[in-house]
Protein backbone atom coordinates (compact mmCIF):
# COMPACT_ATOMS: atom_id res chain seq x y z
CA UNK A 1 0.00 0.00 0.00
CA UNK A 2 2.87 2.40 0.81
CA UNK A 3 4.37 1.76 -2.61
CA UNK A 4 1.06 2.68 -4.24
CA UNK A 5 0.84 5.96 -2.35
CA UNK A 6 4.48 6.78 -3.12
CA UNK A 7 3.98 6.06 -6.79
CA UNK A 8 0.93 8.31 -6.95
CA UNK A 9 2.82 11.17 -5.34
CA UNK A 10 5.82 10.69 -7.58
CA UNK A 11 4.09 10.28 -10.90
CA UNK A 12 0.87 12.24 -10.38
CA UNK A 13 -0.96 9.53 -12.33
CA UNK A 14 -3.82 8.43 -10.12
CA UNK A 15 -6.13 6.56 -12.51
CA UNK A 16 -3.61 4.05 -13.99
CA UNK A 17 -2.21 3.12 -10.56
CA UNK A 18 -5.63 2.58 -9.05
CA UNK A 19 -5.89 -0.44 -11.33
CA UNK A 20 -2.92 -1.98 -9.56
CA UNK A 21 -4.14 -1.07 -6.07
CA UNK A 22 -7.79 -2.04 -6.54
CA UNK A 23 -9.25 -5.38 -7.62
CA UNK A 24 -9.58 -5.24 -11.46
CA UNK A 25 -13.21 -6.40 -11.42
CA UNK A 26 -14.26 -3.75 -8.92
CA UNK A 27 -12.36 -1.07 -10.83
CA UNK A 28 -14.12 -1.95 -14.08
CA UNK A 29 -17.50 -1.96 -12.33
CA UNK A 30 -16.86 1.45 -10.75
CA UNK A 31 -15.69 2.90 -14.06
CA UNK A 32 -18.76 1.55 -15.88
CA UNK A 33 -21.07 3.09 -13.28
CA UNK A 34 -19.22 6.39 -13.51
CA UNK A 35 -19.48 6.46 -17.31
CA UNK A 36 -23.19 5.66 -17.10
CA UNK A 37 -23.79 8.46 -14.58
CA UNK A 38 -21.81 10.95 -16.68
CA UNK A 39 -23.70 9.95 -19.84
CA UNK A 40 -27.08 10.28 -18.15
CA UNK A 41 -26.13 13.61 -16.58
CA UNK A 42 -25.11 14.86 -20.02
CA UNK A 43 -28.41 13.76 -21.53
CA UNK A 44 -30.39 15.44 -18.77
CA UNK A 45 -28.38 18.63 -19.20
CA UNK A 46 -28.95 18.63 -22.96
CA UNK A 47 -32.64 17.93 -22.48
CA UNK A 48 -33.00 20.73 -19.99
CA UNK A 49 -30.88 23.35 -21.71
CA UNK A 50 -32.21 22.79 -25.24
CA UNK A 51 -35.85 22.82 -24.17
CA UNK A 52 -35.81 26.06 -22.21
CA UNK A 53 -36.22 29.19 -24.24
CA UNK A 54 -35.99 32.18 -21.92
CA UNK A 55 -39.50 32.68 -20.50
CA UNK A 56 -42.05 29.88 -20.33
CA UNK A 57 -45.66 30.87 -19.72
CA UNK A 58 -44.42 34.20 -18.38
CA UNK A 59 -42.16 32.61 -15.77
CA UNK A 60 -38.39 32.74 -15.99
CA UNK A 61 -36.95 29.37 -16.90
CA UNK A 62 -35.45 27.40 -14.02
CA UNK A 63 -32.96 24.93 -15.46
CA UNK A 64 -32.14 23.39 -12.09
CA UNK A 65 -35.82 22.82 -11.36
CA UNK A 66 -36.32 21.09 -14.71
CA UNK A 67 -33.28 18.88 -14.16
CA UNK A 68 -34.69 17.91 -10.78
CA UNK A 69 -38.05 17.00 -12.30
CA UNK A 70 -36.37 15.00 -15.06
CA UNK A 71 -34.35 13.16 -12.45
CA UNK A 72 -37.57 12.39 -10.59
CA UNK A 73 -39.03 10.78 -13.71
CA UNK A 74 -35.89 8.68 -14.03
CA UNK A 75 -35.61 7.49 -10.45
CA UNK A 76 -39.31 7.03 -9.65
CA UNK A 77 -40.55 5.66 -12.97
CA UNK A 78 -37.46 4.40 -14.81
CA UNK A 79 -37.76 7.01 -17.55
CA UNK A 80 -35.11 7.29 -20.24
CA UNK A 81 -34.72 10.87 -21.41
CA UNK A 82 -32.56 11.78 -24.39
CA UNK A 83 -32.03 14.56 -26.89
CA UNK A 84 -33.05 13.47 -30.40
CA UNK A 85 -33.20 15.25 -33.75
CA UNK A 86 -36.82 16.31 -33.29
CA UNK A 87 -36.40 17.48 -29.69
CA UNK A 88 -36.54 15.55 -26.40
CA UNK A 89 -37.56 11.89 -26.19
CA UNK A 90 -39.24 10.46 -23.09
CA UNK A 91 -39.36 6.68 -22.87
CA UNK A 92 -40.92 5.27 -19.72
CA UNK A 93 -43.12 2.28 -18.82
CA UNK A 94 -46.54 2.93 -20.36
CA UNK A 95 -47.46 -0.50 -21.67
CA UNK A 96 -50.57 -2.32 -22.82
CA UNK A 97 -52.23 -5.70 -22.52
CA UNK A 98 -52.21 -7.99 -25.57
CA UNK A 99 -54.52 -6.81 -28.34
CA UNK A 100 -55.74 -3.93 -26.15
CA UNK A 101 -55.49 -0.14 -26.34
CA UNK A 102 -56.74 0.79 -22.87
CA UNK A 103 -54.55 2.93 -20.60
CA UNK A 104 -53.77 0.86 -17.51
CA UNK A 105 -54.51 2.19 -14.03
CA UNK A 106 -50.89 1.40 -13.11
CA UNK A 107 -49.69 3.99 -15.64
CA UNK A 108 -51.80 6.90 -14.40
CA UNK A 109 -49.12 8.11 -11.96
CA UNK A 110 -46.32 8.41 -14.52
CA UNK A 111 -48.65 10.00 -17.09
CA UNK A 112 -49.81 12.51 -14.50
CA UNK A 113 -46.20 13.42 -13.71
CA UNK A 114 -45.33 13.72 -17.39
CA UNK A 115 -48.33 16.00 -17.94
CA UNK A 116 -47.14 18.24 -15.09
CA UNK A 117 -43.64 18.47 -16.60
CA UNK A 118 -45.02 19.36 -20.04
CA UNK A 119 -47.32 22.06 -18.64
CA UNK A 120 -44.57 23.52 -16.46
CA UNK A 121 -41.66 23.60 -18.90
CA UNK A 122 -42.80 22.87 -22.46
CA UNK A 123 -45.80 25.13 -22.98
CA UNK A 124 -46.57 25.60 -26.67
CA UNK A 125 -44.40 22.69 -27.81
CA UNK A 126 -45.78 19.89 -29.96
CA UNK A 127 -45.82 16.51 -28.19
CA UNK A 128 -45.82 13.44 -30.42
CA UNK A 129 -47.09 10.20 -28.88
CA UNK A 130 -45.67 7.19 -30.72
CA UNK A 131 -47.55 3.89 -30.37
CA UNK A 132 -46.12 0.40 -30.85
CA UNK A 133 -47.26 -3.24 -30.84
CA UNK A 134 -45.69 -6.65 -30.34
CA UNK A 135 -44.94 -8.78 -33.44
CA UNK A 136 -48.07 -10.98 -33.29
CA UNK A 137 -50.33 -10.32 -36.28
CA UNK A 138 -49.92 -8.42 -39.52
CA UNK A 139 -48.19 -5.08 -39.83
CA UNK A 140 -51.40 -3.56 -41.18
CA UNK A 141 -53.40 -4.59 -38.11
CA UNK A 142 -50.66 -3.57 -35.68
CA UNK A 143 -50.31 -0.10 -37.17
CA UNK A 144 -54.00 0.47 -36.43
CA UNK A 145 -53.70 -1.00 -32.91
CA UNK A 146 -50.62 1.07 -32.08
CA UNK A 147 -52.42 4.16 -33.38
CA UNK A 148 -55.34 3.49 -31.03
CA UNK A 149 -52.91 3.12 -28.13
CA UNK A 150 -51.33 6.47 -28.91
CA UNK A 151 -54.80 8.03 -29.25
CA UNK A 152 -55.87 6.62 -25.87
CA UNK A 153 -52.84 8.16 -24.17
CA UNK A 154 -53.49 11.47 -25.94
CA UNK A 155 -57.05 11.48 -24.63
CA UNK A 156 -55.81 10.75 -21.10
CA UNK A 157 -53.26 13.58 -21.22
CA UNK A 158 -55.88 15.95 -22.61
CA UNK A 159 -57.97 15.16 -19.56
CA UNK A 160 -55.01 16.21 -17.40
CA UNK A 161 -54.92 19.69 -18.86
CA UNK A 162 -52.66 19.37 -21.91
CA UNK A 163 -53.79 21.14 -25.07
CA UNK A 164 -55.18 18.46 -27.39
CA UNK A 165 -54.17 20.54 -30.40
CA UNK A 166 -50.53 20.20 -29.35
CA UNK A 167 -50.73 16.41 -28.92
CA UNK A 168 -50.00 14.46 -32.10
CA UNK A 169 -50.25 10.68 -32.38
CA UNK A 170 -48.65 8.15 -34.72
CA UNK A 171 -48.79 4.36 -34.86
CA UNK A 172 -45.66 2.46 -35.84
CA UNK A 173 -47.03 -1.06 -35.48
CA UNK A 174 -44.52 -3.81 -34.76
CA UNK A 175 -41.43 -1.79 -35.65
CA UNK A 176 -38.63 -0.79 -33.25
CA UNK A 177 -39.24 -3.81 -31.00
CA UNK A 178 -37.65 -3.71 -27.55
CA UNK A 179 -37.67 -7.52 -27.34
CA UNK A 180 -37.74 -8.95 -30.89
CA UNK A 181 -39.90 -12.03 -31.20
CA UNK A 182 -41.66 -11.57 -27.84
CA UNK A 183 -45.44 -11.48 -28.18
CA UNK A 184 -48.64 -12.25 -26.25
CA UNK A 185 -47.57 -13.76 -22.88
CA UNK A 186 -43.85 -14.11 -23.69
CA UNK A 187 -41.47 -12.52 -21.18
CA UNK A 188 -40.83 -8.90 -22.16
CA UNK A 189 -43.65 -8.78 -24.72
CA UNK A 190 -45.40 -5.99 -22.81
CA UNK A 191 -42.36 -3.78 -23.44
CA UNK A 192 -43.10 -4.02 -27.15
CA UNK A 193 -46.70 -2.86 -26.53
CA UNK A 194 -45.87 0.69 -25.49
CA UNK A 195 -45.92 4.39 -26.25
CA UNK A 196 -42.96 6.78 -26.46
CA UNK A 197 -43.12 10.57 -26.26
CA UNK A 198 -41.18 13.18 -28.23
CA UNK A 199 -41.44 16.85 -27.27
CA UNK A 200 -40.62 18.69 -30.46
CA UNK A 201 -38.60 21.78 -29.70
CA UNK A 202 -38.30 22.45 -33.44
CA UNK A 203 -41.85 22.09 -34.82
CA UNK A 204 -40.68 22.65 -38.40
CA UNK A 205 -39.07 19.19 -38.24
CA UNK A 206 -42.18 17.43 -36.97
CA UNK A 207 -42.62 13.93 -38.47
CA UNK A 208 -45.79 13.09 -40.37
CA UNK A 209 -48.14 10.60 -38.70
CA UNK A 210 -48.64 7.19 -40.26
CA UNK A 211 -51.80 6.52 -42.20
CA UNK A 212 -54.45 4.77 -40.16
CA UNK A 213 -55.41 1.33 -41.40
CA UNK A 214 -58.34 -0.96 -40.90
CA UNK A 215 -57.88 -4.53 -39.71
CA UNK A 216 -59.45 -7.52 -41.36
CA UNK A 217 -62.49 -8.93 -39.49
CA UNK A 218 -61.48 -11.24 -36.69
CA UNK A 219 -57.78 -10.49 -36.93
CA UNK A 220 -55.84 -10.42 -33.66
CA UNK A 221 -52.51 -8.74 -33.05
CA UNK A 222 -50.19 -7.55 -30.29
Full pLDDT tens readout for the chain, 222 residues: 544 444 444 444 544 444 444 555 665 665 565 555 555 555 555 555 555 444 444 444 578 898 899 999 999 999 999 988 888 999 998 999 999 999 999 999 999 999 999 999 998 899 999 999 999 999 999 999 999 999 999 999 999 999 999 999 999 999 999 999 999 999 999 999 999 999 986 444 333 333 344 444 456 667
**Strand partners for 199:** 88, 127
Domains of the chain as residue ranges with CATH: 52-205 (3.30.1330.60)
CA distances from 84 to 62, 111, 182 (A): 22, 21, 27
**Helix, strand counts (H, E) of the chain:** 7, 7
Amino acid sequence: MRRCVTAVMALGGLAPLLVACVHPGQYQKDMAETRSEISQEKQDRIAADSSLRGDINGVKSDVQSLRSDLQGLRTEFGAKIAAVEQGIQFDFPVNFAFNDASVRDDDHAVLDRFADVVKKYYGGSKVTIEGFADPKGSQRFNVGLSQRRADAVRDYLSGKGLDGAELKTVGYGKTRLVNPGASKDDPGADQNRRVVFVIETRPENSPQPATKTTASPGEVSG
